[in-house]
Each structure stands twice: as structure tokens, then as C-alpha cells.
Amino acid sequence: MDRLKDKVALITGAATGMGAAHARLFVQEGAKVIMTDVKVTEGKALEAELGNDRALFIQHDVTKLEEWIAVIEAAEKRFGPINILVNNAGIFVQESIETFTEAKYRLVMQVNQDSVAFGMHAVIGSMRKGKTGSIVNISSLSGMEGIKNGFAYVTSKYAIRGMTKAAALDLAQYNIRVNSVHPGIIETPILGGGTKEALEELSGKIPLKRIGQPSEISQLVLFLASDESSFSTGSEFIADGGSLAG
């Protein structure tokens, strides 16, 4: 229960879905957690659930660098320097290379790609104060292979792989590790409340014959956030029920 004892973690997109699962597990494992999101009602409810002595919710537009700087300043004031950053915020827009609009394409890039770059850049100073750090960038199985009608999403998730590797090389000198996680199909709001039949069809295409749960990804994120993964940096960690193996 103390795998993150005395650690301070910042998790984006933490109000619901996988981000909320990560926050709950991190608190259970001894961390103090700053949770950010644009979903204020859900975020404040999660803060109340976890206890404001261990958790802090901050409304945060991850596409704006100035807001990143403000969030990190508030986090340090409350809990001290940040040791862990989980870049979890993301959106999915279903459009092909033929049909996408400039506005939707740029939105996906801002939320999924720019936010990761801004977060890594903004947190370096805080992590250097503690002389160590772990950054976990949540990509996707779509950052390992293409999907039909997901051009912008796939592009953004592939970009996270490259940014992770480049940042890992830049930040190794400060003992800051950077890794990416690539979930397959997980039961979160991003699935859009599909019908029972549609979900069964999705499950049938996965070798393990089921959709993953947020808590299963959280266990992998916890490993990368903790000192247990101290020799892992610039690497990709896949949790997809065997989908990529087929």
C-alpha cells in the first residue's frame, strides 16, 4: 500500500475514466495527487471522495502552457515538488483523412499532442527540485497501428511515442524517466456508450475476448510511476488483451 509513499503526482484528465482510476490507486499507494480536468463537477466530487489532505482538483485546460505553469505552482504550494506526471487527458474524433476538418484536426492535436509536450516541459523544474521524476504519457494501441476513420487520433498518438523517446533522452541527465503506455480497448466514456451488440463485437476481436478495465491500466501506470521501474525510460508498454499480437 506504500508503493508511492511520499510521492506527489499530477494526473490530467483525472475526473473520469482511466484518469480517475489512476488517481484512486495512487492515493491508495500513498501518493498525494493533483487531479486536473475541464470537468469541474466530477473533479470536485473525486477530490471529496479521496480527501483533500491527499487529493487536490484543479480546473485545467491542458492545451494552454500558461495554465500548466499555474497548475504546477499551485501543486507545489499545496504538496511540494512534483515527482510523477501522468499525461492522461485525451479526446477521440472519428474522421478520415478525406473528411476531417481543420478545426477538428487541430483540436485533437492540441488536446492529445500539445498537452503532452507542454506538460513535460512545464514539470521539469519541479522534478529537478526532487532530483528524480517519472513521466507517464498515455498513448494508445492506435499509437502502434492505424485505425480506419481515426486519422487525427492516430497521428496524435503516434506523436506521443516520438515525444516520449526524445524527452527520455533529454531528461535522463536529471534522473527523470519518460515512458508511454498504449492501452487497447478499455471500458471508459471515450467508447461513447456503445450498444451491447457493438461492445460484444469489439470483445470478439480481442484475443482475451473482453474489453479491458481502467483499473488494469492503472496497475501498469503505477508500476511506471513507482521506483520499481527505475531502469525503464524511453520505452513503450502495451496493455491490449493481445490485440497487437494477432
Give me the mean pLDDT over the 62-70 stretch.
98
| Confidence at residue 244, expressed as pLDDT on a 0 to 100 scale | 87
Q: Are 217 and 18 in contact (CB under 8 A)?
A: yes
Q: Are 178 and 229 in contact (CB under 8 A)?
A: no
Query: Is pLDDT of 58 > 60?
Result: yes
| Confidence at residue 7, expressed as pLDDT on a 0 to 100 scale | 97
Rounded CA gap, 11 and 59, in Å? 12
Give 67-106 pLDDT, tens digit per residue.
999 999 999 999 999 999 999 999 999 899 999 999 999 9
Entry pTM:
0.95
Q: Are 127 and 81 in contact (CB under 8 A)?
A: yes
Residue 37: strand pairing partners: 59
Give 159-211 pLDDT, tens digit per residue.
999 999 999 999 999 999 999 999 998 988 766 555 667 777 778 888 899 99
Provide the percentage of residues in the chain whose pLDDT is more than 70.
97
Rounded CA gap, 173 and 170, in Å? 7
Q: Which of 138, 9, 122 is nearest to 67 (CA)?
A: 122
Q: Are 181 and 220 in contact (CB under 8 A)?
A: yes
Query: Is pLDDT of 115 > 60?
Result: yes
Provide the percentage of residues in the chain whose pLDDT is more than 90.
87
DSSP-derived secondary structure letter, 2: -
Give 16-45 pLDDT, tens digit per residue.
999 999 999 999 999 999 999 999 999 999
Rounded CA gap, 137 and 164, in Å? 7
Domains parsed from the chain with CATH numbers:
8-239 (3.40.50.720)
Residue 8: strand pairing partners: 32
Residue 136 dihedral angles phi and psi, to the nearest 5°: -120, 115
Determine the residue type at 203: S
| Confidence at residue 191, expressed as pLDDT on a 0 to 100 scale | 66
Rounded CA gap, 120 and 136, in Å? 10
Look-up of cell digits 450498444: 195
pLDDT grade, residue 113 (50/70/90)?
A: very high
105 catalytic? Reply is no
Positions of E strands within the chain? 8-12, 32-37, 55-59, 84-87, 133-138, 176-183, 236-239
| Confidence at residue 195, expressed as pLDDT on a 0 to 100 scale | 65
Let me know if 1 is exposed, middle or buried by CB neighbors in 10 A (0-12, 13-18, 19+).
exposed
Q: Which of 105, 153, 158, 174 is catalytic?
A: 153
Q: Are 80 and 102 in contact (CB under 8 A)?
A: no
Mean pLDDT of the chain: 94
Residues in Cβ contact with 39 at an 8 Å cutoff, skipping those fewer than 6 apart: 15, 16
Give 129-162 pLDDT, tens digit per residue.
999 999 999 999 999 999 999 999 999 999 999 9
